[in-house]
Structure 1
Amino acid sequence: MTSRIEDYALIGDCETAALVSRDGSIDWLCFPRFDSPASFAALLGTPENGRWRIAATDRKARISRRYRPDTLILETTFETEGGVATLIDFMPLRDGTNDLIRLVVGQKGSVDFSTDFVVRFDYGRTVPWVTRADDGTITAVAGPDRLILSTPVPLEGEDLHTAGAFKVSAGEQVPFVLTYGPSTTPLPAQPDVQAALTNTESFWRDFAGRCPSVGAWTDVVKRSLITLKALTYMPTGGIVAAATTSLPEQIGGPRNWDYRYCWLRDATMTLQAFMKLGYYEEASAWREWLMRAIAGAPEQMQIMYGLSGERNLLEWEPHWLAGYEGSRPVRIGNAAAEQFQLDVYGEVADAMMQAAAGGLARHPRTRALSEVIMNFLETAWHRPDEGIWEVRGGAQHFTHSKVMAWVAFHRAANMALKSGDRPAFAERCQRVADEIHEDVCRRAFDTDLGSFVQSYGSKTIDASLLQIPLVGFLPADDPRVIGTVKAVEAMLMRDGFLLRYNTDHVDDGLPPGEGAFLVCTFWLADVYVLQGREEDARRLYERLVGLCNDVGLLSEEYDPIAERMLGNFPQAFSHIGLINTALNLARHTGPAEERVEASGQPVAQADAV
């Protein structure tokens, strides 16, 4: 049976990633990229869809795990009556080969282990041709794909599985090296396991060591930074939303999406998180990816792109996968890439301004891009769209989308004023920003509710309305904002965490039901900071941090009734929220204050911890 989402840990090489369960099973792995077809897909089906398990044979073994401090090297310890041994899992950064290394180390006495190696290429569908060389090396080939497993453990084929048993005693080490490559190329040289481990540890420690103190939350911020780095496709700088596809937002439900792509919406908050912690190289790489991806006509700008900026993310369903705990359909690709979502234009404009404010050199295409986008958006902002939540129930005039259109013109006006050479353009942008502002305040505020609403003319409350003070559209102490926060708390809070909106009352094109959306709850904590409600913000943040699993990872959503994680995992947006809210609480001027100050709105000052 597939493990609970929170029982998984992540390993990766900044080009792809694997999920390892608490009992030592790799149930998800895509080679050679995050968005490649999975070779192990048991996460979304059964062991027959591919997995690789190494575990103590004693079912009563006590299991504990951790990441080696400040790294992405996973250590799973098995303690039996006969001894103690640790399974070390990691993926070295690439030097021409794609490797995943598992090293079993005996620490005390002796422990019996077994391994079950089941390769199924093409998302768990294709059974490969498996051969064993004279030296025991296992090669699995199907079409263009090849995996090579090298280990001193004798392995035998049985029922389309490759299995083996071994014993490890104190002081002994048993290595397993899995290497991916095209089936048409020569067999690669095997890596030096100890050197690979040392180099991998040095890479992650050097990265994490650059993180400054964030008070009591330094450790959780570091873990989130490491997770964001692991979700970064290093060849291009793109950051995937998550390492997985189709982990459900409701167990057994259809809200299952492919998150192995890069969303423009994450841009501003990602840049702020990296820059505020001094990671300018990563921030610059993300901005460069962003600027390459959106090149072209503004009306063709997508909400998400592939790792290298690919635009064709065709959505389809692998019918042979039963889904995580029966949650179907499983989806590959994402049709939301074809939606019109107005807010992404504001996110891009805000990202450009925040990058400049944070100290990144001005991008040479910023000016031209700004003018082209504003020309298009001057008409387009009047259109309905599918909104931040990518609804599949039809376009509407979403309040958050209009607010972000205001952000686009407001930031463009500010940048033009600061450049000093485009006064007419700045005046034009500010005029449109003022028009949008008046339109939103008139049509999106419900006087009966005393709150802004999800879309023009609706009575629905939406957590995205929290962005109104966070982007500086209105001050946090404006009575309309205070009323909106109260409405969000009253209508969307479930056991201390926020829903995006109430799916029972909104036709978003899907059956109702999903968990609390974690990043929305981080937004609420950020608004508390802006309103001077420091203790409320701190309590809410500690509750969120308490949801991290035993190795510090967060999913997209949480079910407070079943007390389990939901949605794709680990989720970049959740970890970005964790970082930025920690900074908002720990510093006199955090990312939320800086973003608001860019709008010229006043900010309530919070005390540093």
Structure 2
Amino acid sequence: MGTDRRNSNRTPLEDYALLSDMRTGALLSREGSIDWLCCPRFDSPSVFSALLGDADDGRWLLTARNGKVVDRSYRDRSFIVETIWETGSGKVRITDLLPSQLDTQVMERDERTRVIRRAECIDGTVTIEHDLRIVFDYGRTTPWTRKVGAERTGESGLLSIAGPDALFLTGPHLDPDSDAQRRRDREQTNGTRTTGQSRPDDTQGAISSALVGEFEMSEGDRLEWMLTWHRSHLDAPEPIDTEKAVEDTLDDWQEWASHVKVRNRQEALVLRSLLVLRALTNGATGGIVAAPTTSLPEDFGGQRNWDYRFTWLRDASLTIGTLVDHDFTDGALHWRNWLLRAVAGDPDDVQIMYGIDGERNLDEQELPHLSGYENSRPVRVGNGAYSQYQSDVVGEVMLSLASLRDAGVEEDEFSWGLQKNLLSFVERNFDRKGHGIWEMRGSAQYFTHGRAMMYAAFDQGVRAVEEHGLKGPVGRWRSLRDRLYEEIMEHGFDEELDSFTQTYSNDEVDASLLQLPTTGLVAADDPRMLGTVKKIEEDLLDEQNMVRRYRTEAGLDGLPGNEYSFLMCSFWLVEQYAKSGRAEEGEKLMDSLCGYATDLGLFAEEYDSESGRLAGNYPQAFSHLGFIRALDALEDNLPESGA
């Protein structure tokens, strides 16, 4: 539809805040524009896509004319954003949120997604500028918009419909005859976006789908808008008590946070990271998305752009372990139950990732009409890596479920039975090559990290029998575990390099090797591990001492271009330092890495040391998990920490 404008979003990722209702997430820029929102789920088609294009691909801007942002923060321990704008004549506080559904049964029954935006003049006078541009289906379908009277909904508003989607806007009336609206309509008529609009031939009563307006405010005035997504065949929704919705949302986040144990060091950033993990979780199913976004580039202007709005077994497993470490086993059970449902069935059908509800088909496609963030194309939805075999994932699942057992959570027949099936899956795929933890799209290999995680899987099976009294073929598991140990030491460790290697067939190193101590294969201070760390420092550190995943120039991943350093890998190096007698160096690196969190405590996937910008999908669960684990390791190993 339309022409390729290629005027893509240049708002830095660090300027975005995350809003979440534990079903979907929105990205709100510092300048007051919601540039990304998918309804009703994280993985649904977006209704605002300016993040991957420009304003005409959909956004919702609410700003103070001629103003500047002087403060922005999350309200207490929540995902309610409060932004203070200052103009030459006054100040205004703008509050943004996706109100949460406190009741899981209500969440399952009511698919509606709501966005509340509130402006309160706290000093002098200000002019609020409003610009809402709705384009459904990743910016492909412009809706038909009309006024809906109060007799239908209990509150008058503007209803935008296209195909299965509808958005209902209530709040201060937007005048279709205003000067601001006429200016916007002229822009649209002059060719900014005229094709692809979904409207009936009879457009009587229809108005522009770009809803703009200006509102004068004085001290004490309050304006409030609510945008509600619902299925188009249903009536526009009844109004809700927004004041109660705001307070209930705040109470919900704070109640959850009160159960989590947080240590003193970087307490606020740790708590925010734990809250991010919850914010990226579907409250009904327990599926946690790796990130709420797709196609944010690993290399600005490059092709390494992937959809992360799905649930990886690896991420879910690490989340379980992290919550257990912070004494929140009840919360960890929510993620565990999703994981067990996802892998239930034929053990030969285990995937590395699933949809939020456990869906298995995540076919990948490209969206050529979107110019991409920083002109990084293609924009992709779906993720073809779901069909890959990665030999590490069962080991990570077994390690996380072992942490629950060790914390006193008893196994039931369903849970332990599935774990035995997973070990059978590993056994049947014992000699199979994989694509590695990084989902490389080159040829399959024996990745050392993956083989070590297979070792960990069998080792945890043995421990479950020997230490917890569970039933299983412990002799066979022990034999397979020991066989893997000998194999890895023979083929995955290079005596001449004094280092473990990325694969059995090359002499490269890979940041995933930093995780070998978590498998139980070697200790963090084992000489072979120390030699590996030295090689990683030589080959994978950038100028800011951040860690790349691997040398892309080696060509193993089958992809063009390069990528920036990964925050998760850098946190792994901190963890390794802490556990191998280099805790002070780890603390120094950690202090540097904490500086790459945004003002709201959010971490992206990567950091471009040259430009000083965050990159990759955002915010990234993997990065927040790595941060928490690294900080815990420092707390346990710094003598002065008092832990």
Under TM normalisation by the shorter chain, which class is it? over 0.9
Q: Which residue of 2 is the match for residue 387 of structure 1?
A: 436
1:379: how far off? 3.8
Confirm whether residue 56 of structure 1 aligns to residue 39 of structure 2.
no
TM-score, normalising length: structure 2: 0.89
TM-score (norm 1): 0.94
Task: Kindly indicate whether residue 251 of structure 2 is the aligned counterpart of residue 202 of structure 1.
Answer: yes
Matched residue SS, 2:397:
helix
**Alpha-carbon distance, 1:348 to partner:** 1.7
Question: Residue 5 of structure 1: which of 7, 10, 13 is its match?
Answer: 13
- 1:87 equivalent to 2:107? Answer no
**Equivalent position of 2:506 in the other structure:** 458
> Equivalents in 1 of 2:530, 2:470: separation in Å?
39
Question: What aligned pairs does 1:222-261 form with structure 2 within 5 A after superposition?
Answer: 222-261=271-310
Cα offset for 1:580? Answer: 1.8
Structure 1 runs of 4+ off > 6 angstroms? Answer: none
1:565-576 aligned at under 5 Å gives the runs 565-576=614-625
Match of 2:234 among 179, 185, 188: 185
CA distance in 1, matches of 2:529, 2:234: 61
Change (3 A) 1:171 1:269: same
- Matched to 1:72, the amino acid is F
CA distance in 2 between counterparts of 1:266 and 1:180 reads 29
Q: Deviations over 1:355-409 (max 9, x none)?
A: 2112323143233223323233224122111110000011111111101111111
* Equivalent in the alignment of 2:582: 533
State the alpha-carbon separation in 2 of the partners of residues 360 and 198 from structure 1: 34
Query: What residue in structure 1 maps to residue 153 of structure 2?
Result: none
**1:542, 1:471 → 2: CA distance?**
27
How many angstroms does 1:472 deviate by?
1.7
| Counterpart residue number, 1:418 | 467
Q: Given residue 481 of structure 1, which amino acid in structure 2 is its aligned partner?
A: M
Q: What corresponds to 1:439 in structure 2? A: 487
The alignment partner of 1:131 has SS state of strand
String of CA shifts for 1:181-201, please: whole Å, max 9, x gaps. 111112211111211111111
Counterpart in the other structure of 1:599: none
Structure 1 CA distance, aligned partners of 2:483 and 2:397? 20
Structure 1 residue 399 and structure 2 residue 420: aligned?
A: no
Output the CA distance in 1 between the equivalents of 2:318 and 2:640: 20
Secondary structure of 2:249's counterpart equals helix
Deviation at 1:173, TM superposition (A): 0.9
Partner SS for 1:370: helix
The superposition leaves residues 14-53 of structure 1 with CA deviations (integer Å, 9 ceiling, x where unpaired) of 0001000010000000010000000000100111110000
2:85 alignment partner in structure 1: 78
CA-CA distance at 1:529 after TM superposition: 1.6
Unaligned regions of 5+ residues in structure 1, if any? 589-603
Q: 2:133 is matched by which residue type in structure 1?
A: V
Letter in 1 for 2:135: R
Counterparts of 2:458 and 2:261 in 1: how far apart (Å)?
34
> Counterpart amino acid of 1:452?
F
- What secondary structure does 2:554 align onto? coil
Relative to structure 2, which stretch is displaced further, 383-392 or 470-479?
A: 470-479
Residue 279 of structure 1, aligned match among 313, 323, 328 = 328
The one of 507, 514, 534 aligned to 1:486: 534
Letter in 2 for 1:46: D
Deviation at 1:500, TM superposition (A): 0.3
Per-residue deviation, 1:134: 4.6
Tell me, in whole angstroms, the C-alpha distance in 1 between the residues paired with 2:639 and 2:71.
42
1:113 paired to 2:162: no
Q: Cα distance 1:421–1:102, how it changes in 2: closer, same or farther (>3 A)?
A: closer
Which residues of structure 2 form unaligned runs of 5+?
Answer: 1-8, 151-155, 189-207
| Distance in 2 separating the partners of 1:143 and 1:245 | 23
Q: Where does 1:2-401 land on structure 2 (aligned, <5 Å)?
A: 2-58=10-66, 61-94=68-101, 96=110, 97-134=112-149, 137-156=157-176, 158=185, 159=188, 160=208, 161-401=210-450
Q: How many residues align?
A: 592
The 2-side partners of 1:394 and 1:472 are apart by: 28
| CA positional deviation for 1:606 | 9.0
Tell me, in whole angstroms, the C-alpha distance in 2 between the residues paired with 1:414 and 1:211.
Answer: 28
Look up the equivalent residue of 1:137 and give its one-letter code: G
CA apart distance, 1:607:
5.6
Q: Which amino acid aligns with 2:389?
A: F
Moved more, 188-197 or 103-112: 188-197
Corresponding residue for 1:598?
A: none
Kept in 1, the 8 Å contact 2:329–2:404? The answer is no
CA distance in 1, matches of 2:469, 2:169: 61
SS in 2 for 1:354: helix
SS at match of 1:328: coil
* Within-5 A mapping of 1:462-473: 462-473=510-521
The 8 Å contact of residues 147 and 178 in structure 1, kept in 2 or not, is answered as: yes
Output one character per residue of 1:438-479: Cα deviation in whole Å (capped at 9) or x when no partner.
100110111221101100121111000011112221112211
State the distance in 2 between where 1:535 and 1:245 align: 37
**Counterparts of 1:504-523 in structure 2 under 5 Å?**
504-523=553-572
Query: 1:2, 1:559 → 2: CA distance?
Result: 15
Tell me the secondary structure at the aligned position of residue 232 of structure 1: coil
Which deviates the most, 304-313 or 187-196?
187-196
**Which residue of structure 2 lines up, in the alignment, with residue 596 of structure 1?**
none
